[in-house]
Amino acid sequence: FIQAEPASRVGLILVLGRMRISMDFDKSSEIVISLAREVVSMVRRIDPDWTQAYWRFESEESRFGSNASYETRSGVELVSALRESSTYSRLNDLGRQLWGAEPVPEKRFLVCLLIVDAQLDYEVMFERQDLSKWRITKLDGASGRPAGLAAA
């Protein structure tokens, strides 16, 4: 869950469980909206019958990257990094901007998860301690949904 507490006129503190992240509200809101638009555009192009999409971004000081999946009535599909390389490049650039929107390096997130549905409702979650949180994979029988996330 995300709960906003006023920090100042230009800031927002996101309370995620016990974790607090302060970011420039205007800048981070703009980035999150751009991320949601990119993900929606990508999955609409890939499969017009999608119902929900997931984009997971992980970032540390010297490395970052992302992957994504989407749901249809018939199952979950991974988004190809090869076919969607230019979209992933734009998403990663936006993810890195969002990561950098936290001015205190010790408070920056390790993982960001964006969930968006076909009605264009979206949610963004952050993890600051566990780099393996919400992994998206189909290896070893995994579903392709973010690990540990309840099924929709």
**pLDDT tens track for 66-90:** 999 999 999 999 999 999 999 999 9
**What per-residue confidence (pLDDT) applies to 28?**
86
Closest CA to 131 of 39, 61, 36, 70: 61
At 9, the amino acid letter reads R
Q: What is the mean pLDDT of residues 101-118?
A: 93
The answer to whether 128 touches 118, Cβ cutoff 8 Å, is: no
> Is 71 within 8 Å of 50 (Cβ atoms)?
yes
The kind and range of the H/E element at 148 are none
State whether the Cα torsion 150-58-71-48 is positive or negative: positive
pTM (predicted TM-score)? 0.82
pLDDT score, position 25 = 61
Contacts of 57 (CB under 8 A, 6+ apart): 64, 65, 66, 91, 92, 95, 98, 99, 111, 112, 113, 114
